[in-house]
Structure 1
């Protein structure tokens, strides 16, 4: 998606450790107009799938998921990264290893909000090595929910998480795929 690629080139910053900072428009400060365009693009891809829920993980995926859900007119569920006292014990849990934060955590979703009659799109701002996405897939499998598609804003193609999820048989739509990031800040997108 050209508009997203241009925004990444204008405002994105490459940091050591293969980190792409897009916090000026996507995952800290949010460009709401751009977010609406991204949500509509994911909606257009899956609009004929009779989606009942949008699933993401806290925190950066929530804004994108809300934009997608607005177009489908369905609820957003976000997996919490820790189990709070008010969540109860009747939950789906997936253990996830975070590349960005260098630690493991449990992703938790209440059984009240996801079940075997749901048709789901999983949405996130990034996919790199794919651990968070695989955790969300595991939660859908536990629930018996049907995954109709996966919508990603930015895929780091060189870290192969998107490829792994596609090889698992899921339809992954990434709006911008980065094939390489150089230390000098050069970003190369997939053609």
Structure 2
């Protein structure tokens, strides 16, 4: 997506050779029109796959996952990172480290919203080391649903997360690939 690449160059901030700050684009502020275009891109990639639900991890993946679900005409389900008093006590849970937050959290997905009859498209904003993605993949697999594919807005190719998903035989599509952040410069792959 050339438009997305341009917006990254204009609005993202390189914090280190590993970290790209995307608050103005994905993580705090979102452009609804750009989200809808990204959702259309993912929907076009998976339109013929019989997707029954789009799944994401809260919170930054929700806008683009919503746009994708809307475009496909299916429900959006998101895995929670915080347990609440109303949480499903029988939820599927996986403990995962967060690269950007520097902590370990549980991600939880209610069995009520994902069944063995579902064909799932997992959408997320960015993949670096892939810990959260692998955790949600495990949850989807344990649910008995079919994971059709993973759609990632930004893939950091210099980190191994996307490859660890692909090595499991899972289809993974990225809208933008970043090859390097060395020297404070964004190099697309």
TM-score by length of structure 2 reads: 0.97
How far apart are residue 182 of structure 1 and its match? 2.0
- Quick check: 2:17–2:181 contact (8 Å CA) kept in 1? no
Distance, in Å, in 2 between the alignment partners of 1:38 and 1:142 is 28
Q: Number of aligned residue pairs: give it.
A: 189
Work out whether 1:139 is the aligned partner of 2:121.
no
Work out whether 1:20 is the aligned partner of 2:15.
no
Aligned to 1:187: 186
- Quick check: 2:16–2:181 contact (8 Å CA) kept in 1? no
Distance, in Å, in 2 between the alignment partners of 1:136 and 1:187 is 28
Which runs of no fewer than 5 residues in structure 2 stay unpaired? Answer: none
Q: Deviations over 1:124-155 (max 9, x none)?
A: 00000100100110110110010111000000
Work out whether 1:176 is the aligned partner of 2:176.
yes
Work out whether 1:159 is the aligned partner of 2:159.
yes
- Quick check: 2:140–2:146 contact (8 Å CA) kept in 1? yes
Q: Which 4+ residue blocks in structure 1 deviate beyond 4 angstroms?
A: none
Secondary structure at the counterpart of residue 96 of structure 1:
strand
Aligned to 1:110: 110
Which runs of no fewer than 5 residues in structure 1 stay unpaired? Answer: none
Distance, in Å, in 2 between the alignment partners of 1:102 and 1:34 is 29
Tell me how large the CA RMSD over aligned residues is.
Answer: 1.0
1:51-90 alignment runs, 5 A limit: 51-90=51-90
Distance, in Å, in 2 between the alignment partners of 1:83 and 1:110 is 11
TM-score by length of structure 1 reads: 0.96
Secondary structure at the counterpart of residue 159 of structure 1:
coil
